Amino acid sequence: MRALLALFIGVHVYGAATFITKEEYAASLYHNPRGIGCQMCHGESGEGRRIAQYKHKGEKKIFEGKPINKIPFSLFYHAVNSKIVGMPRYYLTDTEIQTLYYYLHREEFKRAAAKRRKSH
């Protein structure tokens, strides 16, 4: 996990000539990833969200977007690159997927970075 954190904090997702912060870029990508925003199905912070509840052949069915803010990066990466029933296919780049993961874990990353700064 430590190595992973270092990897993410080290990632430069924008060039020197951009005027938005990493936070703003990550937030905008989460809400507008060249398709339906992730928050529509997974909630504002990736906490998961019930999309619909209906009855099928008398049975109660629930359609929901799972929580995605507590899963390891490997699972997140694999899932976003796969065909998932009920989820649009996005064809995101590796940097975009890393940015989305950063967005969902930004507080943890910031805390880890602050801790590292302190210990130097």
- Considering the complex, state which of residue 5 and residue 65 has its C-beta at the smaller distance from ligand HEC: 65
- Considering the complex, state which of residue 5 and residue 43 has its C-beta at the smaller distance from ligand HEC: 43
User: What is the CA angle 38-24-89, rounded to 5?
Assistant: 25
Closest approach of ligand HEC to the CB of residue 110, in Å: 20
Closest approach of ligand HEC to the CB of residue 120, in Å: 33
According to DSSP H, which parts of the chain are helical?
A: 2-10, 22-31, 39-42, 73-80, 94-104, 106-118
Summarize as ranges the residues that interact with ligand HEC (CB under 6 A).
33, 36, 38, 40-42, 65-66, 68, 71, 76, 79-80, 84, 86-88, 90, 100
Residues 77, 65: Cα–Cα separation, whole Å:
16
- Considering the complex, state which of residue 16 and residue 52 has its C-beta at the smaller distance from ligand HEC: 52
